[in-house]
Amino acid sequence: MITIDGKEYTEDQLTDQQKYLVAQVQDVNSKIQNLQFQLDQLSVTKDAFSNQIILSVRESEETAAEEDSSPDVVVEPAAAQ
């Protein structure tokens, strides 16, 4: 059963060409759903990689800041007596 412009048709009411076109539309709809599924997966993956980059940069900056704030230790020779 297919509905076109609000009217229902059975398969035997359709010509071979119309059946072919219905099959094409159904196949394309299936492919669109599959591609949307893949796009959702890729979007989540991209977000995960982006978050890893952000965390890595933050950690690098924190490490650099810690190294910059470390006091310099100067060893002076003992005074001769």
Whole-structure pTM value:
0.63
More confident residue, 72 or 2: 2
Q: Are 14 and 2 in contact (CB under 8 A)?
A: yes
Q: What is the pLDDT of residues 9-43, one digit of tens each?
A: 999 999 999 999 999 999 999 999 999 999 999 99
In what helix (H) or strand (E) does residue 8 lie, and over which residues does it extend?
A: strand 7-9
**Amino acid code (one letter) for 71:** P
- Torsion, Cα 73 77 78 81, to 10 degrees, reads -160
Q: pLDDT value at position 72?
A: 66
CA 70 to chain centroid, in Å, comes to 40
Q: pLDDT value at position 58?
A: 94
Q: What is the pLDDT of residues 58-78, one digit of tens each?
A: 999 988 888 877 666 666 777
Angle, CA 56 vertex, CA 38 and CA 59 arms, to 5°: 155
Q: pLDDT value at position 35?
A: 98
